Amino acid sequence: MFELELHASHGAARAGILHTPHGAIATPVFAPVGTQATVKAVQPRELRELGAMLILSNTYHLYIRPGDALIRDLGGLHRFMGWDGPILTDSGGFQVFSLGDLRQVDDDGVTFRSHLDGSQHRFTPEKSVQIQHNLGSDIIMAFDECPPPLDRQTVQAACKRTTLWARRCAEEHLRSGDPSRQALFGIVQGGVFHDLRAKSAQEITALDLPGYAIGGLAVGETKAQMHATLESTLPLLPADRPRYLMGVGSPEDLVNGVARGIDIFDCVLPTRVARNGSALTRRGRINMRNLEHASDAAPLEAGCQCYACQHFSRAYIRHLVKAGEILAHQLLTLHNLHLLLTLMREMRAAIVDGAFSAYAAEFLRQYRPAGKETDAPSAA
Amino acid sequence: MFELELHASHGAARAGILHTPHGAIATPVFAPVGTQATVKAVQPRELRELGAMLILSNTYHLYIRPGDALIRDLGGLHRFMGWDGPILTDSGGFQVFSLGDLRQVDDDGVTFRSHLDGSQHRFTPEKSVQIQHNLGSDIIMAFDECPPPLDRQTVQAACKRTTLWARRCAEEHLRSGDPSRQALFGIVQGGVFHDLRAKSAQEITALDLPGYAIGGLAVGETKAQMHATLESTLPLLPADRPRYLMGVGSPEDLVNGVARGIDIFDCVLPTRVARNGSALTRRGRINMRNLEHASDAAPLEAGCQCYACQHFSRAYIRHLVKAGEILAHQLLTLHNLHLLLTLMREMRAAIVDGAFSAYAAEFLRQYRPAGKETDAPSAA
């Protein structure tokens, strides 16, 4: 279980199959985010129809509401949310660190107040792993400290803590978990500092875990810094284990990440952008509130095979957005997820066909990235 | 076109087929409401899957946004909203009368301000019919005055106006419309006063229209008054034309309406109740916010075949409601519509089988109506 079967590579890009207790995942894969045990505005049957093969859910949010013990008692997260495919949960670390004034960090863990009712709670590496045991996700993440990526001293301290906490997570998972049913992935930190990344990679891979993530990117650095960090760090990770770039998911970041050897991505971007009234297309983002779409009978994207594009005009979707209708969220979310999941399938096929670099170059040539928007994942 | 083929009756209850340019409607039928050209939180493919055979949309809302001329230019309401089945539009009368201080009524029509931007507009019987021509709905409604049902003098004046306006609608429809493509239904007013209903019925049926509606009920009278009004009025309508009870749709009202000879209903109740976090069941309404559902692994309703009940627990749906997730609206709406549409199919089968009165008695014996809640349709 949890072996990565590598089928093909092209440059640094890799195509494979990752085996999990809830099915095989064709990699590279993009995981839609279901923060509160639902990918917002999408039904599980629609995720299947879209070809989603992995979804992410958030430990902090589920711990706070409805509670991980309740989910365990109801048969685990898969049954609770009606999704029988693979699930990855984060550790809750990113969310509790995002709580700002509501949390206090020490070397043992983080004490924080719930963003819902102000009640006090404490996460330790052991607690995070135990919660993820209760949730029963296929891939669980080590509890880490995710610092702002540009301040060397903060990053260095966070790396040290991340390593100590990763060891405690690994011990707790062996003690109270079932590694044949849930894979614990380690997280490499280090911001944009290549030497810190190298040290973190060495310490984390020493734990011999079934997969590794790159944390702490897409939170303030430039694209060039992100790419350079991936290029310096990924060769330090074992080639036979899946590599997960956390919280990244704009179309251009997916292509650039795959090109550098990433196998797994997750991001709220496609679903959040949809709820803000925008569509992702192969040429860039379009804001459906704009007057130019008011009488446009064309679909969101010509040639797109998604349900929204097959049945509805831009004029109709703009009307729904302007009128605040739930169907706007539904249709834009379906379309945006369809684009990213199709993009992943196309990249995988291109890798297998030895045509990835041409595919990536052509995609990036057509794609106009969004201006100042950040693709950072949701804070709590 | 627009003939009602009567297949069976049992007591006053009737089962038939109403032919329209967008397909046949098995009656009695319940029409989900798509106020702004979308049945809130439901996709057209799901309406099909649920067995919806007719939907209602609101002339006032579509006139205000996105505009009936735009919808006409984009091929009509069916194409605009991706629903190729029959559509009924109201006249806009109920909504503009609901605007209160924002409207002024005279014998020629109603001047009103948009609830969106305060801009001034005027509806006349002719204008209402012209808008509905632009929308292209299968069944269009005469522009009427819908008064509070208990004040005899107001009701009397409204009846007089409703008759004058119905004549003007009929003339306008003949002049500028295509009665083979769109059926104009007249509306009988008269509040709870049987003599006023009788007079209105006589005047409106004199127009020899393809269908008739009972307006002005479910807006403040008692259930007993509603039933008595239906019992005194329906025998005055021609048996070979469909009879439509406007704005009514709680489960018990559907059963009681069918029992008295109603063929068509519409109501926002199932979709609105869903968005408020409640499920309709055969035993009454349940509020999914209640703590009693927090760890309940059972579906919303045992034995229900809807997507929500087949895949999700009450505990999960309560979690979604508490967390404010869109999927809560989706699942509760699917369930509530499924119940009402199933109820209509069961009543139709019972009429055909000569078993309707036993079916209705058993349903009403089990069903506990909601307390003080009103099932009145949406005001603007």
Neighboring chain B residues of A37 at a CB cutoff of 8 Å: 316, 319
Return the pLDDT at A378.
36
Mean pLDDT calculated for residue range B219-230: 95
CATH code of the domain made up of A4-267: 3.20.20.105
Say whether the peptide bond before residue A299 is cis (omega within 30 degrees of 0): no
Q: Which of A65, A316, A327 sits opposite B43 (nearest CB)?
A: A327
Question: Are the beta carbons of A330 and B41 separated by less than 8 Å?
Answer: yes
Taking CA–CA distances from A79, the nearest residue in chain B reads: B312
pLDDT for the residue A374: 38
A120 membership: H or E segment, kind and range: strand A120-123
Asked if B183 contacts B190 with a C-beta cutoff of 8 angstroms, the reply is no
Q: How far is A193 from chain B (nearest CA, A)?
A: 39
Residue of A nearest to B319 (CA): A66
A36–B319 CB contact, under 8 Å: yes
Indicate if the pLDDT at residue A373 is higher than 60: no
pLDDT tens for each residue of B236-248: 999 999 999 999 9
pLDDT in tens, A180-235: 999 999 999 999 999 999 999 999 999 999 999 999 999 899 999 999 999 999 99
Q: How far is CA B218 from the centre of its chain?
A: 11
B313 contacts A80? CB cut-off 8 A: yes
| A40 lies within 8 A of chain B by CB | yes
Task: Give helix A125-135 / helix A152-176 axis angle, nearest 10°.
Answer: 50
Q: What is the pLDDT of residues B332-364, one digit of tens each?
A: 999 999 999 999 999 999 999 999 999 999 999
Of A237-241, B163-167, B366-370, least confident by mean pLDDT is B366-370
State the pLDDT at residue A380: 36
Of A43, A73, A295, the CB nearest to B70: A295
| Closest Cα in chain B, distance from residue A227 (Å) | 35
- Residues 305-344 in A contacting B (C-alpha not used; CB under 8 Å): 307, 311-313, 315-316, 318-320, 322-323, 325-327, 329-331
Give the model confidence (pLDDT) of B42-55 as tens digits.
Answer: 999 999 999 999 99
Question: Is B325 close to A40, i.e. CB distance below 8 A?
Answer: yes
Catalogue the active-site residues of A: 90, 266
Residues in chain B within 8 Å Cβ distance of A330:
41, 43, 326, 330
Mutation test of the interface with chain A: which of B73, B327, B335, B378, choosing the one with the most A Cβ atoms within 10 A? B327
HSE of A70 in the Cβ direction (CA atoms, 13 Å)?
A: 20
Tell me the chain A residues in contact with residue B276 when contact means C-beta distances shorter than 8 Å: none
Provide the percentage of residues in chain A whose pLDDT is more than 90: 93
pLDDT at A379: 37
Q: How close B120 gets to chain A, by Cα (Å)?
A: 19
Nearest residue of B to residue A331, measured between CA atoms:
B43
Query: Do the Cβ atoms of A326 and B322 come within 8 Å?
Result: no
From B145's Cα to the closest Cα of chain A, the distance in A is 27
Phi, psi of B232 (to 5 degrees): -85, -30
pLDDT at A146: 87
CA distances, B254 to each of B13, B151, B191, B353 (Å): 11, 26, 19, 19
Question: Tokens in use for A328?
Answer: 């706007």
Reported ipTM exceeds the 0.85 cut? yes
Which of A94-98, B143-147, B280-284, B373-377 is least confident?
B373-377
Out of B68, B138, B266, B375, which one is annotated catalytic? B266
**Mean per-residue pLDDT for A166-190?**
98
Banded pLDDT at B100 (limits 50, 70, 90): confident
Domain residue ranges in chain B? 4-268, 274-366
Q: How far apart are CA A191 and CA A173, in angstroms?
A: 26
Q: Which of B68, B325, B333, B337 to mutate to test the interface with A (most CBs of A within 10 A)?
A: B325
Scan for tokens 């036993």, then name that residue.
B358
List, for residues A298-317, the tens digit of each pLDDT value. Answer: 999 999 999 999 999 999 99
Q: What angle do CA B111, B113, B115 make, to 5 degrees?
A: 140
Which of chain B's residues have a Cβ under 8 Å away from the Cβ of A40? 325-327
- pLDDT above 50: residue A75: yes
How deeply is A100 buried, as exposed, middle or buried, from its count of CB atoms within 10 A (0-12, 13-18, 19+)?
A: exposed
Residues of B in contact with A116 (CB under 8 A): none
Q: Kindly give the pairing relationship between strand B13-20 and strand B23-27.
A: antiparallel
CATH of B4-268, one of 3.20.20.70, 3.40.50.970, 1.10.1740.10, 3.20.20.105: 3.20.20.105
Report residue B237: phi and psi, to 5°. Answer: -95, 150
Distances (CA, A) of A102 to A112, A380, B73: 5, 11, 54
Instruction: Give the pLDDT band of residue B371 (cuts 50, 70, 90).
Output: low
pLDDT band for B193, please (50, 70, 90 cuts): very high
Determine, for residues B65 and A319 on separate chains, whether the beta-carbon distance falls below 8 Å. Answer: yes
| Residue B32 contacts residue B83 (beta carbons within 8 Å) | no
Structure tokens that stand for A207 in this block: 């734990």
Q: What is the mean pLDDT of residues B174-184?
A: 98
> Sorting pLDDT into bands at 50, 70 and 90, what band is A288?
very high
Q: Is B266 in the active site? A: yes
Please indicate if any CB of chain B lies within 8 Å of the CB of A48: no
Nearest to B343 by CA among B331, B330, B356, B328: B356
Residue B294 has pLDDT above 50, yes or no: yes
**Residue A372 confidence (pLDDT) above 90:** no
- Per-residue pLDDT, averaged over A64-76, amounts to 98
The predicted pLDDT at position A371 comes to 62
Q: What is the pLDDT of residue B16?
A: 98
User: Peptide bond before A147: cis, by omega within 30 degrees of 0?
Assistant: no
B66–A329 CB contact, under 8 Å: no
Which one of B40, B41, B295 has the shortest CB-CB distance to A70?
B295
B289 at interface of A, judged by CB pairs closer than 8 A: no
Beta carbons of B192 and B221 less than 8 angstroms apart? yes
According to the model, what pLDDT value does residue A377 have?
A: 39
Q: B192-214: buried (b, 16+ CB within 10 Å) or exposed (e) per residue?
A: bbeebbbbbbebbbebebbbbbb
Q: Per the structure block, which two tokens stand in for A94? A: 């990113």
**How do B13-20 and B4-10 pair as beta strands?**
antiparallel
Please determine, for residue B374, whether its predicted confidence score (pLDDT) is greater than 80: no
Quote the pTM value: 0.96
Q: Do A66 and B325 touch (CB under 8 A)?
A: no
What is the least distance, in Å, from the CA of B81 to any CA of chain A? 7
Arithmetic mean of pLDDT, A70-75: 98
Query: How far A76 CA lies from chain B's nearest CA (Å)?
Result: 11
- Chain A residues whose beta carbon lies within 8 Å of the beta carbon of residue B335: none
* Mean pLDDT, range A291-301, rounded to an integer: 98
The minimum CA-CA distance between A129 and chain B, rounded to whole Å, is 23
Chain B residues near residue A316 by CB distance under 8 angstroms: 37, 74, 80-82
Average pLDDT, chain B: 95
Residue of chain A whose Cα is closest to the Cα of B43: A327
CB A154 within 8 Å of CB A180:
no
Angle at A298 between CA A296 and CA A301, to 5 degrees: 125
